[in-house]
Amino acid sequence: MTPAIPTPSPGPLAMALFGALILALLAGAHAELPGCKIRITSKALELVKQEGLRFLEQELETVTIPDLRGSEGHFFYNISEVKVTELQLTFSELHFQPDQELVLQINNASWGLRFRRQLLYWFFYDGGYINASAEGVSIHTALQLSRDTIGRIKVSNVSCQASVSRMHAAFGGTFKKVYEFLSTFIAKTLTQAATSQICPVLYHAGTVLLNSLLDTVPVRSAVDELVGIDYSLLKDPVASTSNLDMEFRGAFYPLTEANWSLSNRAVEPQLQEEERMVYVAFSEFFFDSAMESYFRAGALKLSLVGDKVPHDLDMVLRASYFGSIVLMSPAVIDSPLKLELRVMEPPRCTIKPSGTTVSVTASVTIALVPPNQPEVQLSSMIMDARLSAKMALRGKALRTQLDLRRFRIYSNQSALESLALIPLQTPLKTLLQIAVMPMLNERTWRGVQIPLPEGIDFVREVVTNHAGFLTIGADLHFAKGLREVIEKNRPTDTRDPQTSSTPPPSTAAV
């Protein structure tokens, strides 16, 4: 008999890999899908760089170089009142760097400086003001972008390297020839002092000033008096060499039920394009959560009584129910007519390549309202409507224009009663078009803000429909200067870069 060969037991490495696979599958199964995505492409960086460099020049011009005192043999010096008089950022590049970084590289920049000198060599003293220039200034700084605890994008870290290739000081005065051989020593001291001040300024600009700009991006905010919107980032931004992608919850909620949320079972929006500066994608969930929030807030109903009912419609309705009305008491016959529309369930949005539609089912109740008496119901019916929806971006607001495409009414009691309602089809549709649709469009055209910082708007947008989501490609425009927005939102106690947390050291090349 052939002896049985024992089956080898799985090793600890295989078990660990199997466990990691199960955990990854479970995490993926419970990952929340985004209702909104935004992609910023490398084409936007040239515009951002132009505005950012203007801001950076202004920040670097505020660099404060401390007074320098020291000696070298019989040479004693005191350099004070150092001021930046000119700054030229000649060559610069701004690009994305995987995985979460935005990198700024500045090469061959130059500074103009002016300072007061007091020099003593043996018994010879010289003093006065002098001009100097720092040339070959190079700066490499990377901003790490991440999601903070409340879901807002933040600059979480700034790495920085700075160097000054050479410093030239134009000494003059009575003892110019005497001190020419010492100018190299003075220039070296100034170079080290100037270089050491660059990175603290950039660190403060990134972690404090730019974050004050990012604080203007809405996270959870009210849209109106009924609903709010949640634009929390679901995870850290992801950068590739050509774009920066961000995933937002993109969910509305009733203000009276701030903890309520609609389960997202929609198709996840996809962003593939890179031709425009920015792309925004919205899934059907984004719009469904808006409509369900308004439904839960009790906003999707309309009641018209008396003079609010159009005269022609009033006459048609009274003629249609004349047989019922004539049997009532005189006090009821001449009482005001009431028409009430009430959405029965949350409307639903369907996005296809051919267009976007909204399906609505509502009850329509017709009644007489005699003064100081209970209302007398004449009829109750069901209304099915299909609206077309066109989206547009204006400024930084997503706006919607609705149009009534299909409409029918029927009775939920009997087919015979549905036939009797056919004469009301046209006047009720006209009522929706002239009374209800303008009210809806007045609200939807106000729009809802897209999560962009203050002072930045969308221009030249193009809307594209896909199966289950839509994308909007656009360019960016600075409606306000970066300096203006930051000064408006600047924290009151952070003007001094030295008060920020300790920045990374500079690397000097002398």
Cα–Cα distance measured from residue 35 to residue 286, given in angstroms and rounded to the nearest whole number: 5
Tokens 């505020």 sit on residue:
62
Q: What angle do CA 345, 439, 266 make, to 5 degrees?
A: 40
At 269, the pLDDT band (50, 70, 90 cuts) reads very high
Using only the alpha carbons of the chain, give its radius of gyration: 35
pLDDT of 1 higher than 60: no
Cα–Cα distance measured from residue 477 to residue 241, given in angstroms and rounded to the nearest whole number: 23
Q: What is the pLDDT of residue 239?
A: 92
Q: What angle do CA 357, 279, 151 make, to 5 degrees?
A: 95
Q: What is the DSSP letter of 250?
A: -
HSE-up of 417 (CA within 13 Å, CB side)? 12
Q: What is the pLDDT of residue 225?
A: 93
Q: What is the pLDDT of residue 366?
A: 85
User: Which of 41-50, 203-212, 230-239, 428-437 has the largest mean confidence?
Assistant: 230-239
Q: Which residues contact 419 (CB under 8 A, 6 or more apart)?
A: none
pLDDT of 267 higher than 60: yes
At 387, the pLDDT band (50, 70, 90 cuts) reads very high
Residues in the chain: 510
Sign (positive or negative) of CA dihedral 189, 193, 198, 200: positive
At 182, the pLDDT band (50, 70, 90 cuts) reads low
Is the distance from CB of 203 to CB of 505 less than 8 angstroms? no
User: Any alpha helices (H) in 103-205, and if so which ranges?
Assistant: 176-179, 183-204
Q: Lowest mean pLDDT: which of 207-211, 246-250, 286-290, 378-382?
A: 378-382
Is the distance from CB of 246 to CB of 153 less than 8 angstroms? yes
Sign (positive or negative) of CA dihedral 362, 366, 370, 371: positive
Q: What is the DSSP letter of 380?
A: E
| Region of residue 483 (left: phi > 0; alpha: psi -120 to 50; beta: else) | alpha
At 499, the pLDDT band (50, 70, 90 cuts) reads very low
Residue type (1 letter), 72: E
Contacts of 308-311 spanning 24+ positions with Cβ under 8 A:
309/337, 309/338, 309/339, 310/431, 310/434, 310/435
Cα–Cα distance measured from residue 391 to residue 449, given in angstroms and rounded to the nearest whole number: 13
Of residues 482 and 262, more confidence is placed in 262
pLDDT of 108 higher than 80: yes
Buried b (16+ CB within 10 A) or exposed e, 258-289: eeeebebebeebebeeeebbbbbbbbbbbbbb
pLDDT in tens, 316-372: 778 777 667 766 777 777 788 888 889 999 999 999 999 999 999 999 888 888 888
Tokens 């369930």 sit on residue:
345
Cα–Cα distance measured from residue 101 to residue 405, given in angstroms and rounded to the nearest whole number: 47
pLDDT of 27 higher than 50: no
User: Which of 186-190, 277-281, 303-307, 335-339 has the largest mean confidence?
Assistant: 277-281
Buried b (16+ CB within 10 A) or exposed e, 224-235: eebbbbbbbbbe
Q: What angle do CA 179, 183, 185 make, to 5 degrees?
A: 120
The percent of residues above 70 in pLDDT, for the chain, comes to 84
Q: Lowest mean pLDDT: which of 99-103, 270-274, 386-390, 444-448?
A: 99-103
Across the range 118-137, mean pLDDT stands at 78
At 199, the pLDDT band (50, 70, 90 cuts) reads confident
What is the residue-averaged pLDDT of the chain? 82
Both ends of the chain: CA-CA distance in Å?
Answer: 84
Cα–Cα distance measured from residue 62 to residue 76, given in angstroms and rounded to the nearest whole number: 28
- Which domains occur in the chain, in start order? 42-215 (3.15.10.10), 283-467 (3.15.20.10)
pLDDT of 22 higher than 90: no
Cα–Cα distance measured from residue 326 to residue 331, given in angstroms and rounded to the nearest whole number: 11
